[in-house]
Amino acid sequence: MPFVPLRVLLDYAREKQFGIAAFNVNNMEQIQAICEAAQEIMAPIIIQASKGARKYTNDIFLKHLMLAAAELYPDIPMVLHQDHGSSPEVCLSAIRNGFTSVMMDGSLEEDGKTPSSFEYNVAVTRFVVDVAHSVGVSVEGELGTIGSIEKMAAGELEDAHGAVGKLTIEQLLTDPAQAVEFVRRTGVDALAVAIGTSHGAYKFTSPPTKDVLVIDRILEIHKLIPECHLVMHGSSSVPQDLLQLINKHGGSLRPAWGVPVGEIQRAIKAGVRKINVDTDLRLAMTAAIRTEFHEHPDRFDPRGYLGLGRDSMKRVCRERMEQFGQTGHAKHIPHVTCEEMAKRYLSGFYGENAKPSPVLARASAKNSH
């Protein structure tokens, strides 16, 4: 089965009322960790790569690593997702390289730093939807600016992607009425909403309260657009034991708090289906590698310390998948190819707004696959 469009997984998750962790990758060990964890509990997976990750790994390497994963784990449905595409061209290049889902982040302009206008966001996202849906690829959009309400700023940049300067509360919280219009005009399959989460480890300066992590906003939006799958970005929980382990073995991380798992579970009940997790995986790998370097300074075989990092990351991946409710669902995911999805989109199966523009779709499809 392995590769499926994102919407196939999220539709099933909505039916069964669970969430799906979307894990970021940069190398082979990370892909192995995710797949091995999924195999142990028979969970479907979303593997995602940012523009920076694609540059680091190289698209050809990444493509063949994912093909290897599909061959080795044939019973695990997989989505390969472009995270934070900063322009239509980034999304189109992902489609050409076999991604089954793309995120057009039009909440920022193409520089990845300047908050955009609502009309700009609609225009670039709609263009990507027309192209992607014509070849059966799912699309995630973003409305509002991912960032910290505590700091009134974007927080840590992710691969140099993130708003620069101070932000307003209106930018940091997705407006429910705008969300309705955005989904109606763009036809996206999933929508990332701003609720006070941010990228990186330093999300909150203390355990977050409802004033800085506004889960209730998800419920408001979901009631208005129940057909659109909601996404939480910046949703690592920043385990305190991993911070302590890193600092014990030579690190100097500042005190930090992430999004509590209990709040994520509440968000899943409120309508969230995709939960982005990256920092927790980095912390897990770093903690294991630092420990090995500190306790065994005479060792230098990369297979040793990278293997330990992979095992540590696998434990966190499995834990999150279990906590979000993914266990045992792999064998029940419908096998729908991108070709079949393209026919569904064109027929209006997912609504008139999700149908690709016929003229643009035909022209773009020739250049995408």
What single DSSP character describes residue 160? T
Does an H or E element contain 48, and which?
strand 45-50
> Residue 310 is encoded by which pair of tokens?
């992979």
Helix/strand/coil for 330: helix
Burial of 298 from C-beta contacts in 10 A (0-12 / 13-18 / 19+): exposed
Helix 216-224 vs helix 261-270: crossing angle, to nearest 10: 20
CA dihedral 256, 262, 265, 269 (to 10 degrees): -120
Q: How far from 153 is each of 105, 129, 175, 207, 235, CA to CA, in Å?
A: 17, 29, 17, 18, 17
Render 171-203 in DSSP notation, one character per residue. Answer: HHS--HHHHHHHHHHH--SEEEE-SS--BSS-S
Which residue in 278, 299, 275, 287 sits closest to 251, CA to CA? Answer: 287
**Phi and psi of 298, rounded to 5°?**
-85, -10
- Cβ neighbors of 302 (< 8 A, separation 6 or more) are none
How far is the CA of 210 from the CAs of 195, 215, 225, 277, in angstroms? 10, 7, 23, 21
Answer yes or no: are the C-beta atoms of 47 and 31 closer than 8 Å: yes
Catalytic residues: 83
Q: Are 100 and 137 in contact (CB under 8 A)?
A: yes
The Cα 96–Cα 119 span in angstroms is: 27
Q: 293: part of which helix (H) or strand (E)?
A: helix 279-295
Spatial CA neighbour of 253 closest among 232, 273, 237, 238:
238
